[in-house]
Amino acid sequence: MAPKAKPIMIQGTGSSVGKSILTTGLCRVFRNDGHNVAPFKSQNMALNSYITEDGGEMGRAQVVQAEAAGKKPDVRMNPILLKPSTDQEAQVILLGEAVDSLGAVDYHSKKPELVSLVRSAYEGLAAENDIIVIEGAGSPAEINLRDNDLVNMGMAEIADAPVLLVGDIDKGGVFASLYGTIMLLSEEERKRVKGMIINKFRGDVKLLEPGLRQIEELTGIPVLGVVPYTELKIEDEDSLSERFRVKAESHGKVNVEVLYLPHVSNFTDFDVFGMQEDVNLRYVMRGERIGDPDILIIPGTKTTMSDLQFLRDSGLADQIYELHRKGRMIIGLCGGFQILGKTIQDPHHAESTIDEMPGLGLLDVDTVFETIKTTTQVFGRISGMRGAFEELNGMELKGYEIHMGHSYRRMGAPHIIDIYNRFGLDTEVADGSVDETGKIIGTYVHGIFDNLLFTRNLVNIIRKEKGLDKLQAPLETYEDFKDKEYNKLAELLKSCLNMDKIYEILG
């Protein structure tokens, strides 16, 4: 029998304290130190998902962590994914497949049945690796959820994992949150906590030292390091990311704005724009107006009809029409593509109780929701771009699809991507659509912008329209760029964490 991996678990005093990024960084540290490592998060609640090579759906945070670990994404790394569809209900995805939509109470009652699934997924990974870095969710001190817990201390027990507890000092009250979390744990749970990490610190760490000594004395648990606040360009776990609260800098030459819809999904589709030095990327948050973008992007959404109604009620739809009249580029991705069409039909009430709703009408397509979800990686090439964007035709693309419906082009309406490989098989599928101006575009292909040559050429066409010189495409791929960021994160953690102690904790 293969030796079982050594586990270590990252838990936090609350959501958005940095569990995901620290898990990512430790995966890269261990990988760079020569270990065979994999990430694991038993249950993730997020609308940001990814499709693996075999068509399974999993949280993007574990995809990022897999990349940092040098592994292909595997649904066992995230056996349970919950995708909220309303404030009361979420789609439940088990080992990559959507199985049901449940309310919180119903899902909580099913947790005992899910323990064996989680255990099996974890043990499968553990048999293939030296180290498993496990990420918790929220806080282990949610005492109302302790029964049947399978993502924090319940998971630590399944894996027999030591725990590192992370607190976010940038929010204030880090010592109270660390102490309070530990005191709300049971005695057996407290024994699992082998170290504390303070994250997102700004300033001179010497000012913290009296507090570090006191929290160690109060809890009997060592502080393993203080991680400085950093702005590495690595994907964030969820929509609470600070990126959405920060105004874009003014030095950019091409302005790209993304509508932050109420049920936005896969917002990391646009991270690649943030690494372009000549692009000014801004997310239009609720209550804000669209600015004066060269490119407006309507992203994917878990509830297309609801978010389309939001665009109308908020006045954003009228602003979109005004941009169209100005001749600006508008790109709809997945749910955004559906929103740009003529109609959205839901005959099976897969998403709502509404049978049909008019779209924004900017593309000659009609969407029909179905009960079966399409989840696949795809390969294709650009084929139907018009006007100044014709030079993009022929470019190769790789991406993935996650959608519940199909969009049908009306007579004569062109498509923009020839998909030639889907589900790992040769095929001929016409995807997306474009209007007669060439400026309104829709596609189902997530990850389209991760193809750097395509994105750079798209930005250069806009630059030319604005009277600016074209810039050369970067020599590195987006994968190379991300790999450098993972290494920067690993070096940062090695400089500020007591890695000798962490290896000792690992055993």
Residues with a catalytic annotation lie at 334, 446
Distance (Å, rounded) from C-alpha 275 to C-alpha 305?
32
- The burial class, CB within 10 Å (0-12 / 13-18 / 19+), for 145 is middle
- Which token pair is 111? 């947790």
Q: Are 179 and 211 in contact (CB under 8 A)?
A: no
Cα–chain-centroid distance for residue 403?
A: 16
Segments in 243-381 forming alpha helices (H): 271-274, 304-314, 316-325, 335-340
Helices and strands counted in the chain (H then E):
14, 26
Among residues 486, 454, 459, the alpha carbon closest in space to that of 471 is found at 459
> DSSP letters of 38-49?
EEE-SEEE-S-E
- Indicate the residue type of 210: P
**Residues 490 and 28 sit within 8 Å (Cβ to Cβ):** yes
For the sheet with 440-443, list strands across it. 279-284, 254-259, 295-298, 329-333, 440-443, 433-434
Other residues' Cβ atoms within 10 Å of the Cβ of residue 76: 23
The one-letter code for the residue type at 11 is: Q
The residue behind tokens 């490989």 is: 421
* Cβ 62 vs Cβ 44: under 8 Å: yes
Contacts of 473 (CB under 8 A, 6+ apart): 452, 453, 456, 457
Q: Residue 119: CA atoms inside 13 Å, Cβ hemisphere, count?
A: 11
- Pairing, β 163-168 against β 6-12: parallel
Beta-carbon contacts of 116 under 8 Å, excluding residues fewer than 6 positions away, are: none
**The one-letter amino acid at 493:** L
Cβ pair 17, 56 in contact under 8 A: no
First to last CA, the chain: 20
Helices (H), 193-293: 209-219, 271-274
| 392-408 exposure pattern, b = at least 16 Cβ within 10 A, e = fewer | beebebebbbbbbbebb
